[in-house]
Amino acid sequence: MKKNKKTGDFVMKIIFHGHACFEIQADSGKIIIDPFIRNNSLAVTKVEDIKDIDAILISHGHGDHIGDAVEIAKNTGAMIIANFEIATYFEKMGLKAHAMHIGGKYAFPFGTVKLTPAIHGSGIPTRDGLHMYGGLACGFLIQLEGKWLYHAGDTGLFGDMQLIGRRYNIDVAMLPIGDNFTMGLEDALIAAQMLNPKYVIPMHFNTFPVIKQDGKSFIDLLNTTVLESKGILLEPGSSIDI
């Protein structure tokens, strides 16, 4: 990883692969969150391009979040980190998995992961078109090299986001804005106010017609109403360094 010329600290790269999928590259390791790539028409990255991954974090069991986890885990040997039910599901496939649950945290070689609440479902799709129980949906607080990242997962607005913001000095918050299944623009603005992160990256929008949103409008509203945070709009395949 490259270093910040002023501080000498390693720069962390956050790559957006579309929908709710982010790849985080740090000197301590590389992780990917909710790897929905192959069936995501907006994604520009190919699954086989995802390499040298240490861990795959899965927020809940829906197909657009489990996505390509199996293929990436087989290709890279990465460990899957998820709630107990989803982790057990993948262990039965012979994959490496680490089970957690909401409120718990664990220090991995690449950094620390804590599971947060998310107001959402988590059914795992089955071959007959139904869903099996997938435990509780979650978000993630991730600490890498002294920086805190918050991936909210698929969620509606909830009051404990204020508690998360008080307890953790969040550098980057990744928040859904698509509405219908998750928070929309208005609620995501309130979430940003409660979380008080340095940067906000919108996610989970425009992938399907039902979650079509104007990401630029969200960023403009955020930058004029939540003065403590800076909104960053990433197109699939683009990245930021922090």
pLDDT digits (tens, 9 = 90+) for 36-54: 999 999 999 999 999 999 9
Q: What is the pLDDT of residues 110-167, one digit of tens each?
A: 999 999 999 999 999 998 989 999 999 999 999 999 999 999 999 999 999 999 999 9
Tokens representing 184 are 């929309």
CA atoms within a 13 Å half-sphere pointing along the CA-CB vector of 105 = 10
What SS3 class is residue 228? coil
Tell me what pLDDT residue 218 has: 98
Indicate the DSSP class of residue 98. E
> Domains plus CATH for the chain?
13-241 (3.60.15.10)
Quote the pTM value.
0.95
Helix (H, G, I), strand (E, B) or coil at 163: helix
Q: In the structure encoding, which two tokens stand for residue 28, read together? A: 């301590």
Please check whether residue 116 is in contact with residue 139, taking contact to mean a CB–CB distance below 8 angstroms: yes
Q: Residue 179 and residue 176: Cα distance in Å, rounded?
A: 8
67-119: pLDDT as tens digits: 999 999 999 999 999 999 999 999 999 999 999 999 999 999 999 999 999 99
